[in-house]
A and B are shown apart, each in its own frame.
Chain A
């Protein structure tokens, strides 16, 4: 029955001046710069370690920007109702893409020799890689990365600016325009995230290839984004923002989406593994060999447990997803799992010409804090700059009243 139509108070959608939220950008920026500088210092002479730590954290935080872009595109493409009230939070994460794009430039102009040595300087007898240098060469790589940054900036900027503009004008044509652009954005998003995953991560070992690699990265990215959106919403509500607007129903949906993409990741990651395991061709299995010896088998087992078994049974029940505390526990497990995934994909390559062995360096943690600090500084800066929800979106009322069955 529509007996419970209640006016929802949206006066707390604006971050109050002089509150702790306004100080966060500065705090995060300091953390970010200090983290990156310390990571560089502690890695010392071992530039290779620094670049691997940097790339691992870069790919983790890039997941958040890209996942949020996906969230916004899907919202418009499907004319979603439920996600309107939380869309601005995703938009604020999405608008970190131009900045995280800039953080890719140090890799392109400084880290190539250390990270992609195998194809930057292919060995004379390495015919496999020599045959691939038409695609894998420094110039084309640089052009591609700049292309990704341009496309991500373009779409993130377009959706962000249109949405904020609607806050004052309330013009429904803006919503229509965003919906028309969304399918185009979706196609370019799929292409760029696939190629970016291949360029940044798969080309670390250019002998090996997997056509589903980009899809696996996308699954993990979408999963971690929904987990972060749930945690961020809880944080905002604790801080007195959108206290009545975000309800259990929205948290339930975050949980459902995170659960769904967690299973999707498992499905694709296992598909990749099983075909290679079954065919048993040496140049393909060597990739898994490096990742299942010297301590990496522990990380692989942890991935299986934390990226599938535990969250699958834990997050299955609706009661778990509808309680903030338990959902937060599930979200944190998924974030840990996504970081382990990045670590497991990227770092075994570092020592592959010696003995592969698992070792975490202090620079891993510092680079994580560093890049995370920069991303969250941009997020909290944008959070304070506009309302925390799209105030005049035509479907805001639908989102506020939305209920799961």
Chain B
């Protein structure tokens, strides 16, 4: 690697219990740019981290409203405005016939909103992340639990943060670098 700078700090913990309490403490300190990495879902960790409820439901709702509106207006415009034609002796604007397509497009765009909204919020796809520069970080998919704190966090201070993590029971602490 050529030029490098500090991306942040990585602390390793041995048990779910340790990381749970560490997260509670970091949350209470007021850190903003940090994350926890565990090999399996630790029940209640989102509460210990103080995460706000996901925004995905709102994106799904917006997708649903968008899809349903598009489905309905498209049919209304084509069937009643631009290409009116008599079908089965029914009025041009026959709303009951429009419901299935409206419903299906609503469902389709709600699903799009859910999947792509989730990907966007998670910043996926990301091809590389500075954390993978750390050799030890491989343990996050095996038997170790990690907390990473980014250096861009206003509360971040190399010495103080390291001390805090040590007090919280971290078994190993290292500074993670990224390409400048």
Partners in one complex: yes
Binds B, one of A65-73, A174-182, A271-279: A271-279
Residue B44 is within 8 A (CB to CB) of chain A in the complex = yes
Known: A278-B88, A280-B89. Is A1-B44 also a contact (CB below 8 A)? yes
- Chain B: residues with Cβ within 8 Å of the partner, total of 15
Residue in contact with B16 in the complex, picked from A1, A273, A316, CB distance below 8 Å: A1
Q: Could you mark each residue 1-26 of chain A with 1 if its beta carbon is under 8 Å from any beta carbon of chain B, else 0?
A: 11100000000000000000000000
Q: How far is the CB of A325 from chain B (nearest CB, A)?
A: 20
Residue A270 is within 8 A (CB to CB) of chain B in the complex = yes
For chain A residues 61-90, which have a beta carbon within 8 Å of chain B?
A: none
Known: A1-B16, A1-B42, A1-B44. Is A278-B97 also a contact (CB below 8 A)? yes
A278 to B44, CA, bound (A): 52
Q: How far is the CB of A1 from chain B (nearest CB, A)?
A: 5
Residue B20 is within 8 A (CB to CB) of chain A in the complex = yes
Q: A1 to B97, Cβ gap below 8 A?
A: no
Task: Return the chain B residue nearest A275 by Cβ.
Answer: B96
Q: B96 to A273, Cβ gap below 8 A?
A: yes
Instruction: Collect the chain B residues with CB atoms within 8 Å of residue A3's CB.
Output: 20, 44
Instruction: Give the interface residue-count category, chain A.
Output: 10 to 19
A188 to B20, CA, bound (A): 50
Q: How far is the CB of B133 from chain A (nearest CB, A)?
A: 31
Residue B17 is within 8 A (CB to CB) of chain A in the complex = yes
Q: B89 to A274, Cβ gap below 8 A?
A: no
Residue B120 is within 8 A (CB to CB) of chain A in the complex = no
Q: B88 to A274, Cβ gap below 8 A?
A: no
Residue B129 is within 8 A (CB to CB) of chain A in the complex = no
Task: Return the chain B residue nearest A279 by Cβ.
Answer: B88
Known: A1-B16, A1-B20. Is A274-B99 also a contact (CB below 8 A)? yes
Please classify the interface of chain A as helix (H, G, I), strand (E, B), loop, or mixed, using the class held by over half of its residues.
Answer: helix
Task: Return the chain B residue nearest A1 by Cβ.
Answer: B44
For chain B residues 84-137, which have a beta carbon within 8 Å of chain A?
A: 88-90, 96-97, 99-100
Q: Of B17, B20, B48, B96, which is in contact with the most chain A CB atoms at under 10 Å from its CB?
A: B96
Q: Could you mark each residue 277-318 of chain A with 1 if its beta carbon is under 8 Å from any beta carbon of chain B, else 0?
A: 110100000000000000000000000000000000000100
A351 to B126, CA, bound (A): 68
Instruction: Collect the chain B residues with CB atoms within 8 Å of residue A316's CB.
Output: 61
A270 to B96, CA, bound (A): 9
Task: Return the chain B residue nearest A277 by Cβ.
Answer: B96
Q: B88 to A1, Cβ gap below 8 A?
A: no
Q: Could you mark each residue 13-27 of chain B with 1 if its beta carbon is under 8 Å from any beta carbon of chain A, else 0?
A: 000110010000000
Residue in contact with B99 in the complex, picked from A1, A270, A280, CB distance below 8 Å: A270
For chain A residues 229-259, which have a beta carbon within 8 Å of chain B?
A: none
Q: How far is the CB of B64 from chain A (nearest CB, A)?
A: 10
Task: Return the chain B residue nearest A313 by Cβ.
Answer: B61
Instruction: Collect the chain A residues with CB atoms within 8 Å of residue B48's CB.
Output: 1
Instruction: Collect the chain A residues with CB atoms within 8 Å of residue B96's CB.
Output: 273-274, 277-278
Instruction: Collect the chain A residues with CB atoms within 8 Å of residue B42's CB.
Output: 1
Instruction: Collect the chain A residues with CB atoms within 8 Å of residue B99's CB.
Output: 270, 274
Instruction: Collect the chain A residues with CB atoms within 8 Å of residue B20's CB.
Output: 1, 3
Residue B52 is within 8 A (CB to CB) of chain A in the complex = no
Task: Return the chain A residue nearest B97 by Cβ.
Answer: A278
A36 to B57, CA, bound (A): 48
Q: A1 to B43, Cβ gap below 8 A?
A: yes
A316 to B43, CA, bound (A): 25
Q: A1 to B89, Cβ gap below 8 A?
A: no
Instruction: Collect the chain B residues with CB atoms within 8 Å of residue A280's CB.
Output: 88-90
Instruction: Collect the chain A residues with CB atoms within 8 Å of residue B17's CB.
Output: 1
Q: How far is the CB of B46 from chain A (nearest CB, A)?
A: 9
Q: How far is the CB of A280 from chain B (nearest CB, A)?
A: 7
A130 to B97, CA, bound (A): 35
Task: Return the chain A residue nearest B100 by Cβ.
Answer: A274
A183 to B142, CA, bound (A): 42
Q: Could you mark each residue 37-50 of chain B with 1 if its beta carbon is under 8 Å from any beta carbon of chain A, else 0?
A: 00000111000100
For chain B residues 51-105, which have a beta carbon within 8 Å of chain A?
A: 61, 88-90, 96-97, 99-100
A277 to B95, CA, bound (A): 11
Task: Return the chain A residue nearest B89 by Cβ.
Answer: A280
Q: Of A1, A273, A278, which is in contact with the most chain B CB atoms at under 10 Å from its CB?
A: A1
Q: How far is the CB of A297 from chain B (nearest CB, A)?
A: 14
Instruction: Collect the chain B residues with CB atoms within 8 Å of residue A273's CB.
Output: 96
Instruction: Collect the chain A residues with CB atoms within 8 Å of residue B88's CB.
Output: 278, 280
A2 to B20, CA, bound (A): 11
Q: How far is the CB of B47 from chain A (nearest CB, A)?
A: 9
Q: How far is the CB of B21 from chain A (nearest CB, A)?
A: 9
Q: How far is the CB of A278 from chain B (nearest CB, A)?
A: 7
Q: How far is the CB of A360 from chain B (nearest CB, A)?
A: 28
A274 to B94, CA, bound (A): 11
Task: Return the chain B residue nearest A319 by Cβ.
Answer: B53
List 10 A-B pairs, Cβ < 8 Å.
Answer: A1-B16, A1-B17, A1-B20, A270-B99, A273-B96, A274-B97, A274-B100, A278-B88, A278-B96, A280-B89
Task: Please list the residues of chain B having a beta carbon within 8 angstroms of any beta carbon in chain A.
Answer: 16-17, 20, 42-44, 48, 61, 88-90, 96-97, 99-100
| The 3 residue pairs across chains A and B that have the minimum distance between CB atoms | A1-B44, A274-B96, A277-B96
